Amino acid sequence: MLTLAALSLRLRASSCQGSCRSIATVISGNKTSKLVRERLKKEVENMRTQFSGFRPSLVVLQVGDRDDSNLYISHKLKAAAEIGIDAKHVRLPSSATQNEVLQSIMAVNDNLSVHGLIVQLPLDSVNAIDNELVTNAVSPEKDVDGLSCINAGKLSRGDLNDCFIPCTPNGCMELIRQTGVSVAGKHAVVIGRSKIVGAPMHDLLLWSHATVTTCHSKTPDLPKQVGRADILVVGAGRAEMVRGEWLKEGTVVIDCGINHVPDETKASGKRVVGDVHYASANERAAYITPVPGGVGPMTVAMLMENTVRSAQRFLLKNQQRR
C-alpha cells in the first residue's frame, strides 16, 4: 500500500509522461525522514504508555574531538530527542587506547538499560586502533549501525528480520519505496562496494528480488553497466562521476555521495554535490534524490528506526521470559 508521499510522487511522475517527461521527480529525503520520525515518535509514546515510562536508549561513543564527527553526532542527538529516545554522548579523549575503547564498549554491552550503541567513525586517537575489532566488539543486539560481522552476515544470507540493516542502505530502500516503483524483477546497479553502503545495498536489493550488478573501480565500461539500470544507487565518493547521458530513460537514481567542489559564488568557496551529475541526470531519470537533502537525512532517521526496533525486541524478549 502506497503512503501519501509515495502516491504524490507517482502522480507527479505519471502526469509528465511523453512530451512533458523531461525532468525527474525529486525524492525528498527531508520529507521522507520527517514521516519516519513522526511514526517513530508515536511508537515511542505507545511504549512509554504501555510500559510505564519506558524509553529506548542510545549511546554514541566518540574518540577524540573531530569537528565533522561533532556535527554528525549533534544531528543524531537532536533526532533522538525529537522522537523521545534517551540518547547519551560518551566522548573519550584522543589519548584513548584501544583497550580503553573496548572497555567502554563492553560496559555499554552489559548495561541492560541501553538498547543501541554506535561507535562514531573515524576514531580520532593518537594511538593505533583496529576499527574492525572495535566495530565487532559491539553486541549484535545493540549494533544499531548494522556494521558488525554478525549483522552483515545475517543480511548477506537474507535474514532481514533477525539483524540490524546499515542505516544508509536502509534509508535508500525507504526512498525507493516512496516512488512506488517495485524493486522485484528490476535490474539494479550499485556503484561502490564499501561495507557501509555498497555491499549491504547489494544485499538489500537482491533480497528484494532485484537482479543486481555491483560496479567498482575495476569495472570496465561503467557507462554501459549504468545504462542497463532500472534502479541506480551510487556510493563511489567521486564528485559528479555519473553523467546523465549514461542513464536510460526512466531510471530511479539514488545518490549517496557527499562531495565538496569549488564554487566562488558561495561564501565558503565550495558547494556540496553528489556522485551523480544532477543537472544532466535530472533530464533522463524518472526519480532522483537531491544532494543535499536526499539520502543524508534518511541515514539519521534509519538509525533512530533501528534503535526503536532494538528497544521493542528487548521488551518482547523480557515478556517471553516471564
Residues carrying an active site annotation: 76
Q: Where are the alpha helices (DSSP H) in 208-294?
A: 222-226, 278-281
Residue 214 phi, psi (nearest 5): -105, 125
Closest to 237 (Cα-Cα) out of 194, 200, 205:
194
Q: Residue 7 is which amino acid?
A: L
- Give the Cα separation of 106 and 94 in Å (integer): 19
Asked if 308 and 40 count as a contact pair (C-beta separation under 8 A), the reply is: yes
Concatenated DSSP letters of 271-282: EEE-SB-HHHHT
Q: How far apart are CA 29 and CA 35, in angstroms?
A: 10
* Short-list 43, 116, 104, 106, CA closest to 77: 116
Query: How many other C-beta atoms are found inside a 10 Å radius of the C-beta of residue 67?
Result: 7
If you search the block for the grid coordinates 516512488, which residue do you land on? 179
- Residue 229 CA to residue 251 CA, distance in Å, equals 7
User: What is the CB neighbour count within 10 angstroms for residue 50?
Assistant: 9
Alpha carbon 8 to its chain's center: 23
**211: β partners:** 187
Give the Cβ contact number of residue 316 at 10 Å. Answer: 10
